Amino acid sequence: MNKLKVAFLIDKNNNWIENRIHDFQKSLNKSKFLSKVFKDYKKINDYDLVFILNFTKILDKNFLKKNKLNLVIHSSNLPEGKGFAPMQWQILKNKKYIYNSLIEAVKKVDSGNVYLKEKMFFKGNELYNDLRTIQSESIIQLIKKFLKRYPNIKPKIQFGKSTYFRKRKTADSELNINKNIKNLFPLMRIANNDKWPLFFKYKNKKYILKIYKDEN
Protein backbone atom coordinates (compact mmCIF):
# COMPACT_ATOMS: atom_id res chain seq x y z
CA MET A 1 0.00 0.00 0.00
CA ASN A 2 1.40 3.38 -1.05
CA LYS A 3 1.72 5.98 1.66
CA LEU A 4 -0.35 9.14 1.36
CA LYS A 5 1.82 12.17 0.58
CA VAL A 6 1.17 15.05 2.97
CA ALA A 7 2.71 18.53 2.76
CA PHE A 8 2.69 21.27 5.38
CA LEU A 9 3.18 24.81 4.10
CA ILE A 10 4.24 27.36 6.71
CA ASP A 11 5.31 30.98 6.41
CA LYS A 12 8.96 31.86 7.07
CA ASN A 13 7.80 35.15 8.60
CA ASN A 14 5.02 33.57 10.66
CA ASN A 15 6.88 30.65 12.19
CA TRP A 16 5.35 30.23 15.66
CA ILE A 17 3.99 26.82 14.68
CA GLU A 18 7.16 25.56 12.98
CA ASN A 19 8.68 23.44 15.77
CA ARG A 20 5.36 21.81 16.63
CA ILE A 21 4.67 20.95 12.99
CA HIS A 22 8.14 19.46 12.50
CA ASP A 23 7.63 17.18 15.51
CA PHE A 24 4.20 16.15 14.27
CA GLN A 25 5.47 15.57 10.74
CA LYS A 26 8.18 13.23 11.99
CA SER A 27 5.61 11.17 13.90
CA LEU A 28 3.40 10.96 10.79
CA ASN A 29 6.21 9.41 8.80
CA LYS A 30 6.19 6.44 11.17
CA SER A 31 2.62 5.65 10.12
CA LYS A 32 0.81 5.42 6.79
CA PHE A 33 1.82 8.91 5.67
CA LEU A 34 4.83 10.37 3.90
CA SER A 35 5.03 14.01 4.95
CA LYS A 36 7.28 17.05 4.56
CA VAL A 37 7.32 20.66 5.77
CA PHE A 38 7.77 23.46 3.21
CA LYS A 39 8.25 27.22 3.34
CA ASP A 40 8.33 27.64 -0.45
CA TYR A 41 5.00 26.74 -2.05
CA LYS A 42 6.67 26.42 -5.47
CA LYS A 43 8.33 23.20 -4.29
CA ILE A 44 5.02 21.50 -3.48
CA ASN A 45 3.69 19.41 -6.33
CA ASP A 46 1.62 16.24 -6.70
CA TYR A 47 0.75 15.77 -3.02
CA ASP A 48 -2.39 14.03 -1.82
CA LEU A 49 -2.94 16.57 0.96
CA VAL A 50 -1.49 20.04 1.54
CA PHE A 51 -2.12 21.78 4.87
CA ILE A 52 -1.58 25.54 4.49
CA LEU A 53 -0.87 26.84 7.99
CA ASN A 54 -0.81 30.58 8.72
CA PHE A 55 0.66 31.30 5.30
CA THR A 56 0.25 35.02 4.68
CA LYS A 57 0.39 35.06 0.87
CA ILE A 58 -2.64 34.34 -1.32
CA LEU A 59 -1.96 31.22 -3.39
CA ASP A 60 -3.19 31.29 -6.97
CA LYS A 61 -5.39 28.67 -8.62
CA ASN A 62 -2.44 27.21 -10.55
CA PHE A 63 -0.85 26.10 -7.28
CA LEU A 64 -4.12 24.65 -6.01
CA LYS A 65 -4.42 22.52 -9.16
CA LYS A 66 -1.05 20.86 -8.57
CA ASN A 67 -2.21 18.84 -5.57
CA LYS A 68 -5.20 16.60 -4.86
CA LEU A 69 -6.63 18.46 -1.84
CA ASN A 70 -5.46 21.74 -0.33
CA LEU A 71 -6.60 22.62 3.19
CA VAL A 72 -6.47 25.74 5.36
CA ILE A 73 -7.02 26.08 9.10
CA HIS A 74 -8.54 29.44 9.98
CA SER A 75 -9.06 30.51 13.60
CA SER A 76 -12.68 31.59 13.51
CA ASN A 77 -16.16 30.08 13.27
CA LEU A 78 -16.45 30.52 9.51
CA PRO A 79 -18.10 32.21 7.73
CA GLU A 80 -17.73 34.65 10.63
CA GLY A 81 -14.30 36.22 11.00
CA LYS A 82 -12.74 35.81 7.58
CA GLY A 83 -9.57 37.74 6.85
CA PHE A 84 -6.57 38.67 8.96
CA ALA A 85 -5.47 37.86 12.54
CA PRO A 86 -8.79 36.26 13.53
CA MET A 87 -7.60 34.98 16.90
CA GLN A 88 -6.17 38.36 17.92
CA TRP A 89 -9.33 40.25 16.98
CA GLN A 90 -11.46 37.81 18.98
CA ILE A 91 -9.16 37.96 22.04
CA LEU A 92 -9.65 41.74 21.94
CA LYS A 93 -13.37 41.01 22.33
CA ASN A 94 -12.58 38.88 25.42
CA LYS A 95 -13.79 35.68 23.75
CA LYS A 96 -13.47 32.70 26.12
CA TYR A 97 -13.50 30.21 23.25
CA ILE A 98 -12.50 30.51 19.60
CA TYR A 99 -13.01 28.02 16.79
CA ASN A 100 -10.46 26.59 14.41
CA SER A 101 -12.08 25.75 11.07
CA LEU A 102 -10.50 23.24 8.68
CA ILE A 103 -11.59 24.19 5.17
CA GLU A 104 -10.70 23.48 1.57
CA ALA A 105 -8.42 26.12 0.09
CA VAL A 106 -10.13 27.81 -2.85
CA LYS A 107 -9.44 30.91 -4.93
CA LYS A 108 -11.73 33.09 -2.78
CA VAL A 109 -9.98 33.48 0.59
CA ASP A 110 -11.49 31.66 3.60
CA SER A 111 -14.54 30.60 1.60
CA GLY A 112 -13.96 26.88 1.02
CA ASN A 113 -16.16 24.04 2.26
CA VAL A 114 -15.71 23.11 5.93
CA TYR A 115 -14.43 19.67 6.94
CA LEU A 116 -14.09 20.07 10.70
CA LYS A 117 -14.23 22.64 13.49
CA GLU A 118 -12.73 22.57 16.96
CA LYS A 119 -12.95 24.97 19.90
CA MET A 120 -10.00 26.52 21.68
CA PHE A 121 -10.68 27.53 25.29
CA PHE A 122 -9.02 30.46 27.07
CA LYS A 123 -8.90 31.44 30.74
CA GLY A 124 -8.32 35.12 30.00
CA ASN A 125 -4.82 35.33 31.51
CA GLU A 126 -2.82 34.01 28.54
CA LEU A 127 -0.21 36.20 26.84
CA TYR A 128 0.96 35.94 23.22
CA ASN A 129 3.14 32.82 23.58
CA ASP A 130 0.43 31.06 25.59
CA LEU A 131 -2.15 31.88 22.94
CA ARG A 132 0.06 30.52 20.18
CA THR A 133 0.72 27.31 22.15
CA ILE A 134 -3.01 26.71 22.55
CA GLN A 135 -3.58 27.53 18.89
CA SER A 136 -0.84 25.21 17.61
CA GLU A 137 -2.02 22.31 19.79
CA SER A 138 -5.58 22.77 18.53
CA ILE A 139 -4.37 22.84 14.92
CA ILE A 140 -2.46 19.58 15.40
CA GLN A 141 -5.50 17.92 16.97
CA LEU A 142 -7.69 19.07 14.09
CA ILE A 143 -5.25 17.65 11.54
CA LYS A 144 -5.10 14.36 13.45
CA LYS A 145 -8.90 14.06 13.44
CA PHE A 146 -9.03 14.76 9.72
CA LEU A 147 -6.30 12.26 8.84
CA LYS A 148 -7.97 9.59 10.96
CA ARG A 149 -11.18 9.94 8.94
CA TYR A 150 -9.71 10.67 5.50
CA PRO A 151 -10.79 9.84 2.79
CA ASN A 152 -14.16 9.00 4.38
CA ILE A 153 -14.95 12.56 5.39
CA LYS A 154 -17.22 14.94 3.52
CA PRO A 155 -17.16 18.73 3.76
CA LYS A 156 -20.12 21.05 4.27
CA ILE A 157 -20.69 24.39 2.62
CA GLN A 158 -20.28 27.46 4.79
CA PHE A 159 -23.63 28.67 6.07
CA GLY A 160 -24.47 32.10 7.43
CA LYS A 161 -23.39 35.70 7.01
CA SER A 162 -19.73 36.40 6.27
CA THR A 163 -17.87 38.92 8.42
CA TYR A 164 -14.31 40.10 7.93
CA PHE A 165 -11.32 41.17 10.00
CA ARG A 166 -8.90 43.71 8.59
CA LYS A 167 -5.13 43.35 8.65
CA ARG A 168 -3.58 44.60 11.87
CA LYS A 169 -0.98 47.36 11.71
CA THR A 170 1.82 48.53 13.99
CA ALA A 171 -0.42 51.39 15.13
CA ASP A 172 -2.89 48.86 16.54
CA SER A 173 -0.43 48.09 19.36
CA GLU A 174 -0.64 51.61 20.78
CA LEU A 175 -1.93 51.84 24.34
CA ASN A 176 -4.36 54.57 25.30
CA ILE A 177 -2.78 55.90 28.49
CA ASN A 178 -6.12 57.35 29.59
CA LYS A 179 -7.54 53.84 30.07
CA ASN A 180 -6.90 51.61 33.08
CA ILE A 181 -4.82 48.43 32.87
CA LYS A 182 -7.85 46.14 33.13
CA ASN A 183 -9.34 47.69 30.00
CA LEU A 184 -5.98 47.57 28.22
CA PHE A 185 -5.21 43.96 29.16
CA PRO A 186 -6.81 42.33 26.06
CA LEU A 187 -4.47 44.37 23.87
CA MET A 188 -1.54 43.45 26.13
CA ARG A 189 -2.37 39.76 25.72
CA ILE A 190 -1.91 39.76 21.94
CA ALA A 191 1.27 41.84 21.89
CA ASN A 192 4.33 40.21 20.37
CA ASN A 193 7.30 41.59 22.31
CA ASP A 194 9.66 41.16 19.36
CA LYS A 195 7.61 41.91 16.25
CA TRP A 196 4.82 44.24 17.39
CA PRO A 197 5.43 45.38 20.99
CA LEU A 198 3.11 47.61 22.93
CA PHE A 199 3.83 51.33 22.91
CA PHE A 200 2.37 54.63 24.01
CA LYS A 201 3.08 58.25 23.22
CA TYR A 202 3.51 60.93 25.85
CA LYS A 203 4.80 64.50 25.53
CA ASN A 204 5.99 63.98 21.97
CA LYS A 205 7.92 60.81 22.82
CA LYS A 206 7.18 57.18 21.97
CA TYR A 207 7.71 54.56 24.69
CA ILE A 208 7.99 50.80 24.08
CA LEU A 209 6.56 48.33 26.59
CA LYS A 210 7.14 44.58 26.76
CA ILE A 211 5.00 42.26 28.86
CA TYR A 212 5.94 38.98 30.54
CA LYS A 213 4.16 36.67 32.93
CA ASP A 214 5.81 36.03 36.31
CA GLU A 215 5.89 32.23 36.51
CA ASN A 216 7.39 32.07 40.03
Average pLDDT over residues 157-172: 96
Q: What is the pLDDT of residues 14-39, one digit of tens each?
A: 778 888 998 998 888 888 899 999 99
Indicate whether 55 pLDDT > 90: no
Residue 48 has pLDDT above 90, yes or no: yes
| 3-class DSSP state of 86 | helix
**Is the previous residue joined to 79 through a cis bond, with omega within 30 degrees of 0?**
yes
Mean pLDDT of 192-197: 94
Taking 70 as the threshold, does the pLDDT of residue 1 lie above it? no
Tens of pLDDT, residues 61-73: 888 999 999 999 9
Which residue segments constitute the domains of the chain, with CATH numbers given?
4-164 (3.40.50.170), 169-209 (no CATH)
User: Whole-model pTM?
Assistant: 0.93
CA angle 158, 83, 112 (to 5 degrees): 30
